[in-house]
């Protein structure tokens, strides 16, 4: 199966890929030192959680690391990344929110995830635009062998999840591969899955920064889950992403419309 996707630093080209394929691949939007810090911090966290038996392990060899906003200022930086936010605004419109940020680590022997879109919470019919969108920060080279994200290009245009009863959950997918530092941005309607890690000893680290339209409930409740020091040092953009701003003069009020 041929790996899919063209990595680009041209954001108009990236937006065209989003419209056609439902995803795009962009070149590393971080300076090398920042990317190294990001990768080292996640590796450290994942190992610590495995060592103290608090790790969330699943599907035979895979691991999730949740609540990353509370686990290092470097994670606050990537949710506000200018390049990714530009593409998220293309997909989700003005004043989109951060829905969650966590890591997905495909370990040796980890099974392929079920095929799905990310907005299965929404009842049908879906409108002709996404409610949510995701970004996968590739901290290692993503290859077919080590469990790269797999997709069926163009399925975002179907406006529905797979019909599992009709066997659509078993349709063959294509791996989206890229070197460490690549970011995959994808429409919440795109059918995709974590690939199986068929290596003997290589972990595949990725961070999923997931966003939603301003009127959609966030996956992680930032007013309960995010620690006070993160709120206290939040930039204006971070405050908006966490949901502190009133949307369209109506949503998120605390005592009536502002005068």
Inside any domain, residue 252 = no
The pair of three-digit structure tokens given for residue 43, joined into one six-digit string: 């590796």
What range defines the domain where residue 93 resides? 7-242
pLDDT of 39 above 60: yes
CA-to-CA distance for 213 and 11, rounded, in angstroms? 21
Inside any domain, residue 256 = no
Q: How far is CA 209 from the centre of its chain?
A: 4
Inside any domain, residue 1 = no
The pair of three-digit structure tokens given for residue 151, joined into one six-digit string: 């997709």
Inside any domain, residue 94 = yes
pLDDT of 46 above 90: yes
Q: Please state the pTM of the whole predicted model.
A: 0.95
CATH number where 184 lies? 2.60.120.620
Q: Residue 178: beta bridge partners? A: 142
Inside any domain, residue 40 = yes
Task: Give SS3 for 27.
Answer: coil
Q: Which residue has the tokens 């990310």?
A: 118
Question: How many structural domains is the chain composed of?
Answer: 1
Give the per-residue pLDDT at 38. Answer: 98
Give the per-residue pLDDT at 204. Answer: 98
Inside any domain, residue 187 = yes
pLDDT of 257 above 90: no
Q: CB-based contacts of 218: which residues, under 8 Å, 6+ apart?
A: 97, 98, 99, 100, 212, 243
pLDDT of 210 above 60: yes
CA-to-CA distance for 100 and 91, rounded, in angstroms? 17
Inside any domain, residue 111 = yes
Give the per-residue pLDDT at 199. Answer: 97
> Quick one: which H or E segment has residue 73?
helix 73-79
Give the per-residue pLDDT at 2. Answer: 44
């Amino acid at each position: 199966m041929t790996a899919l996707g063209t990595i680009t630093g041209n954001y108009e080209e990236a937006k065209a890929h989003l419209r056609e394929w439902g995803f795009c691949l962009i070149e590393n939007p971080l300076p090398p030192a920042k990317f190294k810090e990001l990768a080292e911090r996640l590796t450290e966290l994942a190992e610590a959680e495995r060592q103290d038996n608090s790790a969330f392990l699943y599907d035979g060899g895979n691991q999730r690391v949740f609540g990353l906003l509370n686990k290092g200022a470097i994670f606050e930086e990537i949710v506000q990344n200018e390049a990714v936010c530009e593409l998220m605004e293309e997909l989700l419109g003005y004043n989109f929110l951060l829905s969650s940020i966590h890591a997905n680590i495909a370990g040796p022997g980890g099974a392929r995830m079920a095929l799905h879109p990310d907005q299965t919470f929404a009842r049908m019919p879906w409108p002709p635009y996404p409610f949510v969108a995701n970004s996968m920060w590739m901290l290692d080279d993503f290859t077919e062998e080590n469990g790269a994200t797999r997709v069926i290009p163009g399925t975002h245009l179907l406006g529905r999840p797979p019909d599992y009863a009709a066997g659509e959950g078993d349709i063959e997918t294509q791996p989206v591969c890229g070197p460490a530092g690549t970011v995959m941005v994808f429409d919440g309607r795109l059918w995709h899955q974590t690939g199986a890690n068929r290596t003997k000893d290589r972990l595949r680290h990725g961070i999923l920064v997931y966003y939603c339209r301003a009127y959609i409930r966030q996956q992680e409740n930032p007013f309960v889950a995010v620690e006070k020091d993160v709120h206290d040092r939040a930039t204006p953009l971070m405050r908006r992403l966490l949901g502190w701003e009133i949307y369209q003069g109506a949503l998120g009020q605390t005592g009536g419309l502002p005068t």
